[in-house]
Amino acid sequence: MNPITFAHRFDHVTGSAIREIFKVLGRPGMISFAGGNPSLDALPDRLCADIARDVLTEDGKRILQYGATEGYPPFVESLTEYLRARFGFDMEQNGVLPITGSTSGMDLVCKALLDPGDVVLVESPTFLGNMQTLNLYQARLVPVESDDDGVIPQALEQAAKTHRPKMLYIIPTFQNPTGRTLSAQRRKAVAQLAAQYGFLVAEDDPYRDLRYRGEALPPIKTYDATGHVIYMGSFSKVISPGLRVGYLLCNRELLRKCTVGKQGTDLHTPNLNQAIVDQFLRRNLLEEHVRSILPGYREKLDIMLEELSCFPQGSAFTRPEGGLFVFVTLPNGLNATALFETAVERGVAYVPGTYFYPEGGHDDTLRLNFSNSTPQQLRQGMQTLGALLSQSAQAQ
């Protein structure tokens, strides 16, 4: 046949670089610090088996029939109550929409708001999955400088003045890939700047409940007096990513557009998956389940931080209070992108940090995930990596 002409939205999206990385993860014996998967131990398979049978037995006809785009009614109810009680969100001004994983929330927000060429401010580095979603809407990504307390308000204000952005995409808590958390003061500043300069904030908050120490901070959304902040939550990290259930919370006008967009994207999120998460909320299972998985995650993070001492002197790394990732900057121009292949040959995978930067570069950085390895794998993998990096440092 004639070659197919694909849509221009794919002109700069190949989806391939990072996929090559993930392909090697299945090799026998590979220790992977590359993914962002929850620990298998933390996935409540037996509980979900019972719940799935229960909900299909009790409300099976409604669950198997077409549902409303607006969500499975019992779940919308329990979720609304949960969010009101937990964060004090104003559920008259705001509404909630169950979505098919938080990726689909990002997709719907982009669908509602973005025309090609619209500027979206992003942290630098930021989550590469949602960069791809943004790129498929032909957004122009403009990085905003961050430090250990997250996005710097002065840099954000300057970018708002210079670029007149449509939106800021931000992960304020245990950020992906850095693990950093935006300070409370800056959360307030972000909400104020959004109101002042008229851009929307897509607040992506999937890691919040994986806090191993320190005090939880309120979402940016709680400082939003003007309806500029969209709160995107997910049950992927605290119940199951395979179920694909998250939610959007935002002002009702924007939520309506997202809902109409969703009619054309997947009609509705599967009812069964919403019904399962609904039971976690209704039976108060979520809090207990989260409490039960935190100690294992905390131990793994601590092992990884401890083992970072075997990295070459001068390595800098984040010390997150939660989440799934540690971000490392190597000394003396050591190149984590170039070393990746050798690391994989030695049986350890990570993600070179360059993929998280909208502008590329930063080859001296890497992201390490600790949740999906055993303590023994963490020690062994970190020591293998440390030895490789030290060799390379000496060879320079």
Applying CB under 8 A, which of residues 56, 152, 155, 294 lies at the interface with a copy of itself? 56
Of residues 63 and 170, the one with the C-beta less far from a copy of itself: 63
Min. distance of Cβ 201 from a copy of itself in angstroms?
A: 12
Min. distance of Cβ 125 from a copy of itself in angstroms?
A: 18
| Positions in 86-105 near a copy of itself (CB under 8 A) | 100-101, 103-104
Q: For residue 222, how many other CB atoms are within 10 A of its CB? A: 17
Kind plus residue range of the DSSP H or E element containing 332: none
Of residues 201 and 334, the one with the C-beta less far from a copy of itself: 201
129 is a contact residue toward a copy of itself (CB under 8 A): yes
14 is a contact residue toward a copy of itself (CB under 8 A): yes
d(CA 164, CA 194): 11
28 is a contact residue toward a copy of itself (CB under 8 A): no
| Positions in 278-307 near a copy of itself (CB under 8 A) | none
Secondary structure letter of residue 146 according to DSSP = E
Applying CB under 8 A, which of residues 133, 173, 181, 365 lies at the interface with a copy of itself? 133
Applying CB under 8 A, which of residues 24, 25, 30, 35 lies at the interface with a copy of itself? 35
d(CA 89, CA 81): 10
Min. distance of Cβ 166 from a copy of itself in angstroms?
A: 8
| Positions in 234-273 near a copy of itself (CB under 8 A) | 236, 239-244, 251, 253-254, 257, 259-261, 263-273
209 is a contact residue toward a copy of itself (CB under 8 A): no
Contact between residue 71 and residue 97 where contact means Cβ atoms under 8 Å apart: yes
d(CA 166, CA 187): 18
77 is a contact residue toward a copy of itself (CB under 8 A): no
Tell me, letter by letter, the H, E, C secondary structure of 205-228. Answer: CCCCCCECCCCCCCCHHHHCCCCC
Q: How many residues sit close enough to a copy of itself to count as binding (CB under 8 A)?
A: 84
Residue 165 vs residues 143, 251, 384: alpha-carbon distances, Å:
11, 19, 43
Q: Which residues have C-beta within 8 Å of that of residue 12, sequence separation ≥ 6?
A: 135
Residue 168 vs residues 11, 218, 231: alpha-carbon distances, Å:
23, 18, 12
Min. distance of Cβ 386 from a copy of itself in angstroms?
A: 28
Q: For residue 386, how many other CB atoms are within 10 A of its CB? A: 17
164 is a contact residue toward a copy of itself (CB under 8 A): no
